[in-house]
């Protein structure tokens, strides 16, 4: 069993050479705390076994600083060596198990710890990162959400959910008619002609017409007495109407008398402005004759030209994509349409906590919105400016 696990396919700067302190071979207890890379009689061997059981041994010559296999004194007679990913006498480029053995003049033979070399992702899951209660050791192969929760795997409450059987059943529906409880094929009653009755020009229009007619009838019947046979209130209403008419007619007569007096005073008099000065006669025959021509003759722009310009705006003119900004509540119609097209065309990501809408360069975040979930309800907030 390896004593240490390290990431494979990466340069390692401090791989342990010995498991216990290096000991003097004279008294068998003094620690050798000043061993150097070119120690007299140094013999260092890298032993390696693959997971398939292939065993190799490679002699390693330590180097000083800035070499490929730099020897480092870590203190207290413990030493490490550098193993590059490539280019060295030994390289960290294969999964498996390795350890150093060696001896030197005046030093007892030694052996280093057995080191396992495996994918960095495994070390991350098993050692470096916090354990995921939803993914376990599966990594991104499983969703980061609880089963039967938002974004999680579906479950079967009763058990025995057979996905293959479900897939076979669904595949068998391709092109098959719908059937009733007696297994007989249902007649095709949803025809084009019947669906056409639901078009805006048919059923919805008819309903709107009925509603309008009903409203008109209601406006009349609201004025009827609760008991149509009871006419006791008619005389009272007629008397009130007569009195109202007498008052209005008298008022009209008085107003006409005032107007008649004012008009009589204008006989032969010129119109006057607010300063009582007579107004010049500007309403001439020549000016009135200008009103005889049709409105269309007063403009050199034809309806066809107006139509062409409108089509040019719709089919030819282009509009730049909105940049990194918060979409305004009151913006132009062209910009609102542009946002719809941008959100349909451009790259969008959703990591469960935030939606990001990217620019055309697919790297710049132009707009973003927070996403949250509570009690099974997913809420997407208002979009604001990136990044």
CATH code of the domain covering residue 41: 2.60.40
Structural domain boundaries enclosing 92: 4-121
> Can you give the pLDDT of all 387 residues of the chain as single tens digits?
799 999 999 999 999 999 999 999 999 999 999 999 999 999 999 999 999 999 999 999 999 988 999 999 999 999 999 999 999 999 999 999 999 999 999 999 999 999 999 999 888 888 888 777 776 666 676 787 777 788 777 887 777 777 787 877 777 677 676 676 777 766 666 677 777 777 766 777 878 888 888 888 888 777 766 665 566 667 777 888 888 888 999 999 999 988 887 777 666 666 677 777 766 666 677 776 766 655 556 667 788 988 888 888 888 888 899 999 999 999 999 889 998 998 899 999 999 999 999 999 999 999 999 999 999 999 999 999 998
Two structure tokens written together for 366: 């132009």
Domain boundary among 121, 139, 155: 121
State residue 257's pLDDT score.
Answer: 87
Q: Is residue 68 part of a domain?
A: yes
Q: Is residue 195 part of a domain?
A: no
Domain boundary among 105, 121, 137: 121
State residue 270's pLDDT score.
Answer: 67
Would you tell me how many other CB atoms lie within 10 Å of the CB of residue 51? 12
Nearest CA to 111 among 46, 32, 198? 46
In whole angstroms, give the CA distance from residue 126 to residue 189: 61
State residue 105's pLDDT score.
Answer: 97
In whole angstroms, give the CA distance from residue 358 to residue 287: 62
Q: How many domains does the chain have?
A: 2
In whole angstroms, give the CA distance from residue 80 to residue 72: 5
Two structure tokens written together for 240: 């009130």
Q: Is residue 181 part of a domain?
A: no
Q: What beta strand segments (E) does the chain contain?
A: 4-7, 12-16, 43-49, 55-59, 71-75, 78-83, 96-104, 107-111, 115-118, 348-350, 354-358, 365-374, 377-380, 384-385
Domain boundary among 70, 93, 121: 121
State residue 162's pLDDT score.
Answer: 77
Is 312 buried (19+), middle (13-18) or exposed (0-12) by CB count in 10 A?
Answer: exposed
Q: At 380, is the secondary structure helix, strand, or coil? A: strand
**301 DSSP assignment:** -
């Amino acid at each position: 069993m390896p004593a240490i696990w390290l990431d494979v396919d990466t340069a390692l700067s401090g791989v342990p050479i010995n498991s216990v302190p290096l000991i003097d071979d004279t008294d068998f207890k003094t620690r050798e705390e000043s061993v150097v890379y070119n120690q007299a009689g140094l013999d260092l061997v890298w032993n390696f076994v693959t997971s398939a059981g292939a065993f190799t041994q490679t002699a390693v010559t330590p180097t000083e600083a800035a070499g490929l296999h730099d020897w480092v004194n870590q203190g207290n007679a413990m030493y490490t060596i550098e193993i590059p990913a490539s280019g060295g006498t030994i390289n960290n480029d294969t999964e498996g198990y390795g350890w150093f053995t060696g001896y030197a003049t005046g030093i007892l033979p030694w052996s280093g710890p057995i080191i396992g070399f495996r994918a960095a992702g495994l070390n991350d899951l098993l050692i470096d990162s916090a354990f995921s209660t939803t993914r376990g050791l599966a990594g991104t192969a499983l969703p980061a959400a609880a089963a039967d929760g938002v974004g999680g795997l579906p479950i079967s409450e009763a058990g025995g959910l057979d996905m293959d059987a479900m897939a076979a059943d669904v595949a068998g529906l391709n092109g098959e008619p719908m059937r009733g409880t007696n297994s007989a094929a249902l007649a095709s009653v949803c025809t084009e002609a019947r669906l056409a009755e639901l078009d805006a020009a048919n059923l919805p229009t008819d309903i709107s017409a009925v509603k309008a007619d009903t409203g008109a009838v209601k406006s009349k019947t609201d004025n009827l007495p609760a008991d149509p046979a009871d006419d006791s209130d008619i005389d009272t209403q007629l008397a009130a109407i007569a009195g109202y008419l007498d008052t209005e007619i008298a008022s009209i007569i008085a107003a006409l008398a005032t107007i008649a007096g004012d008009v009589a005073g204008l006989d032969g008099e010129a119109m006057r402005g607010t300063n009582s000065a007579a107004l010049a006669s500007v309403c001439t025959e020549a000016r009135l004759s200008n009103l005889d021509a049709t409105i269309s003759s007063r403009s050199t722009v034809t309806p066809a030209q107006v139509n062409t310009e409108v089509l040019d705006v719709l089919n030819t003119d282009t509009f730049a994509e909105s940049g990194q900004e918060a979409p305004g509540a009151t913006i132009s119609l062209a910009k609102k349409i542009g946002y719809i097209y941008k959100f349909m065309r451009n790259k969008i990501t959703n990591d469960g906590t935030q939606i990001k809408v990217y620019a055309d360069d697919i790297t710049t975040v132009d707009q973003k919105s927070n996403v949250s979930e509570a009690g099974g309800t997913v809420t997407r907030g208002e979009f604001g400016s990136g990044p």
